[in-house]
Every structure is written in C-alpha cells, then in structure tokens.
Amino acid sequence: MKLSDGVEAAIHCAAVLAQLNGEATLPGSALAELHGLSPSYLLKHLQALTAAKILESIPGPNGGYRLAKAPERISLLDIVLAVEGHQPAFRCGEIRQRGPGALEAEAYVKPCGIKVAMLKAERAWRAVLAETKLSQIVSGYEADADPRAVAFNCAFIARHQRPQGETSLKKSK
Amino acid sequence: MKLSDGVEAAIHCAAVLAQLNGEATLPGSALAELHGLSPSYLLKHLQALTAAKILESIPGPNGGYRLAKAPERISLLDIVLAVEGHQPAFRCGEIRQRGPGALEAEAYVKPCGIKVAMLKAERAWRAVLAETKLSQIVSGYEADADPRAVAFNCAFIARHQRPQGETSLKKSK
DNA sequence: ATATCCAGGATAGAGAATATCCACGATAGG
DNA sequence: CCTATCGTGGATATTCTCTATCCTGGATAT
Ligand code: FES
Ligand code: FES
C-alpha cells in the first residue's frame, strides 16, 4: 500500500498558497521551483486540486493559483481525495462468491464482514485527516520550522505573488 | 492509494483456518480451490503469513497450514502488515529540503508537520485494525452469512482437513 | 522409494504512477 | 489588435509495483 507521491507535493503547495495576501495568486511554475519539482508534473496535481474546488486558477499573464476557500475550511482529507481519487484503499473483490459453493447473487445482500471491518478502519483514517485543517498545518509550520526557512519562503512568496487587484499595479524594481 | 489484492485473500484464508479442529491443517491447494484462486499466487501470501508467525506450516503429505496462535490473538493489522509490508502508506520525501532556500541537513531535525499529521491518521487506521481480531470476523461470518454458504464451507473444511494427530488415522470410505 | 506438500528464487505480463510535451483557450498589457 | 504569459487537457513515453506462474529443493508420511 502506498500513497502516491503527489500527495506530499499537493499539501505542501496548498500550505504555501495559504500564506498569500488576500486575493493574490502564485503561478504554478513558482510553486514547482520553490519545491524543486518538475513543473509539468506538478501542474497535473494542481489541476486535480482545482477540479476539486480546493484551488482557484486565474488564466492569463498576472494569473496563477490561490486557495478557493479559507484554510480553516480545507482539510487534509480534501486534498488527499482530490489527488488520490475517492476509491477506498481496500477493494473487496467479492472473493466469497467465487470458487465451488458459490450461490446466486441474491444470497450476498449482506456485505462481507471482512469488508465492513476494513472500511471501518479506513473511515477512522479519513476522520483524522478530515479534522486536520490546512490552517493548523500552516501555523504549525510557522512555529516549528527553522526561522531561516520560514523567512526564505516568505520572501519567495512576496517576490512571485501577483496582486490581482482588478487592473494594473506597478511592479517595484 | 490501493491495498494489494492479496489482503482480501489472506484474511479470508485466515478466517477459514480459524475454523479447523484442534491441530488439524489444511493444504494451500484446498484454500486456493475454496476461493477460486490460483494456487501458485495464493501460496506467496500464505508464505508471508507464515514468515510473520501468523500461520504454521507442516510439510510432507498430510501437511498443510493452520493458525500459529489463537484467533483472539490475531488482529487484522497483523495480517495486513504481513502481506503489505510494514512501511507506512504516506512516505515523506523531505520535499521541504529541496529547491532553492534549502538549508543544511541539521536544520531539519524537527519532522515536517505534514508528515506528522499524515502518520497520525495512519496510526488511527492501524489502531482500528489492531482492535479487530480474527475471532470476531469468524463469529460475524457464522452469524451473518447465508446458512447454505456456512454449511458448504464446513463440509469443505471437514473434507480436506488433515487430522495431524501424530501418526495415521484411517480415511473413511 | 515415492508421493505429497511447503519454501523460495527466477521470471514474465499487466497495470498504475511518474514525468514530459504540445496544441489550445483565456487574458493583461502595449 | 498583437503578443507574451499562464492554465487546461490530451497524448505519450518511462518506470515500478503488483500479479501470476514455474521450477528446484527440502521435509515427511506411507
Ligand atoms: S468477499 Fe471481499 S472482503 Fe470478504
Ligand atoms: S517534507 Fe515530507 S511531508 Fe513535509
């Protein structure tokens, strides 16, 4: 069992976007550069997050990505499901109705107890992820990470974010 | 994210073996036939369970598999870990120390908050699986499944199990 | 001695995840 | 209008893991 690598990148990106000012956006290429990732591949995950209404995208020059809602309303579960898909990790192949001794399909209305137990465990996993909001991740990061790393991130964001206030705004040198 | 298919087979097999009398064993080929699976492949998973001390195997004619301990002492987590391996599903690639702005390795002694949150969720999943014992699965099965299926399984087991009492025992008919 | 069974390594094949690339539509700025 | 920038989405190549099978060797009851 393995979660796809994109999950780590997606959460980190979302955490960065949560630190933008107001309606500003950050281009996908900046996100890729900041994390040392290939832009082409990261964009795929950002698209998935956009499709899931977690991010918003603004096309055109001066465009980019930003959160679609407040960080308090975005859970890790939202992000994981957007990237990984909504299928449960345990997939019951109805092994019980194979082999000799198989009955008609009507005999299997009650779900297999093993399936029930596995999905219950998965619900517990999802519940913890659903409780963890992006806002907690961000404040945890600002409190625990090396101050130099935090400062660099801030500067990087300030340097690449796009103010997005309807029209122009002079770029200071 | 996907759990390997072998997990479903392994748990079902363990549940069947839990229904054996005393020290009797059941050959892997019978287990495969009962579930309509390829013997060659199922054996791989049974070997993993044996290596994890969940099953015991007896070589030679009249040999086979049986549980290595009481069903109350075997949890679903034991089986899942034996088949899937012990690595967590979320693997942190330390994405935070890539890209520009990376610091020396000593600056990253504190684990990344995202990693901590993901592993915490995984612990919750494992905790539920650890609480669910094989004995509960078996009694749930006997209570909920179609009586005809239960009867067939019983008969199948009675037909293929190997008594294992030190030496011979005449095969009736 | 022989037949049955498990252990474990070697090896294809299938399918998913990873990683790129490009043509397209949208938009801000000149 | 024209152009440069940026996201969208499809097509594609590559890499890995999971799936599935086979075969040699060791153990053991008859
Ligand atoms: S039949 Fe799928 S878990 Fe039992
Ligand atoms: S660096 Fe791996 S989860 Fe943050």
pLDDT digits (tens, 9 = 90+) for A88-145: 999 999 999 999 998 998 899 999 999 999 999 999 999 999 999 999 999 999 999 9
Is residue B154 over pLDDT 90? yes
Q: How far is the CA of A91 from the centre of ligand 1 (A)?
A: 8
* Interval B102-110 mean pLDDT: 91
How much is the mean pLDDT over chain B?
A: 93
* Interval A33-51 mean pLDDT: 96
Q: What is the per-residue pLDDT for B152?
A: 96
Q: Which residues contact A73 (CB under 8 A, 6 or more apart)?
A: A133
With CA atoms as reference, report the closest residue to A21 among A172, A160, A169, A170.
A160
**Per-residue confidence at A164, pLDDT binned at 50, 70, 90?**
confident
- Residue A100: what residue type? P
Q: How far is the CA of B94 from the centre of ligand 2 (A)?
A: 5
* Interval B52-56 mean pLDDT: 97
Cα end-to-end distance, chain B, whole Å: 51
B119 neighbors A112 (Cβ within 8 angstroms): no
* Interval B15-31 mean pLDDT: 95
Q: Which of A114, A132, A159 to mutate to test the interface with B (most CBs of B within 10 A)?
A: A114
A2 neighbors B89 (Cβ within 8 angstroms): yes
pTM of the prediction?
0.92
Q: Which residues contact A56 (CB under 8 A, 6 or more apart)?
A: A25, A50, A65, A66, A67, A68
How much is the mean pLDDT over chain A?
A: 93
Which residues 64-123 of chain B have a CB under 7 Å from nucleic chain C? 64-65
Q: What is the per-residue pLDDT for A80?
A: 98
* Interval A56-66 mean pLDDT: 95
Ligand 2 neighbour B94 (Cβ under 6 A): yes
* Interval B146-157 mean pLDDT: 96
How many Cβ atoms are within 10 Å of B23's Cβ, its own excluded? Answer: 13
Q: How far is the CA of A113 from the centre of ligand 1 (A)?
A: 7
* Interval B89-93 mean pLDDT: 96
Write out chain B residues lying below 8 Å of A90, CB-based: 3, 7-8
- Residue A85: what residue type? G
* Interval B94-102 mean pLDDT: 92
Beta strands in chain B (DSSP E): 55-58, 64-67
Q: Which residue's CA is minimally distant from atom 3 of ligand 2? A: B115
Q: Which CATH number fits domain B5-172: 1.10.10.10, 3.40.50.1220, 3.20.20.70, 2.60.40.1120?
A: 1.10.10.10
Q: What is the per-residue pLDDT for A166?
A: 57
* Interval A21-50 mean pLDDT: 95
| Residue A13 to residue A11: CA distance in whole angstroms | 5
Q: What is the per-residue pLDDT for A170?
A: 42
Is residue B171 over pLDDT 50? no
Residue of B nearest to A115 (CA): B8
Is residue A168 over pLDDT 50? no
Is residue A69 over pLDDT 70? yes
Nearest-CB residue to B114 (from A12, A92, A122): A12
Q: Which residue's CA is minimally distant from atom 3 of ligand 1? A: A115
Alpha carbon separation from B28 to A1, A13, A83, B41, B83 (Å, rounded): 25, 48, 39, 10, 16
**What are the φ/ψ torsions at residue A25 (nearest 5 degrees)?**
-125, 165
Q: What is the per-residue pLDDT for A22?
A: 86
**Which of A93-107, B54-68, B139-153 is predicted with the least confidence, judged by mean pLDDT?**
A93-107
Of all residues in chain B, the percent with pLDDT exceeding 90 is 88
Q: Using the beta-carbon criterion (under 8 Å), do A1 and B2 form an inter-chain contact? A: yes
Q: What is the per-residue pLDDT for A165?
A: 64
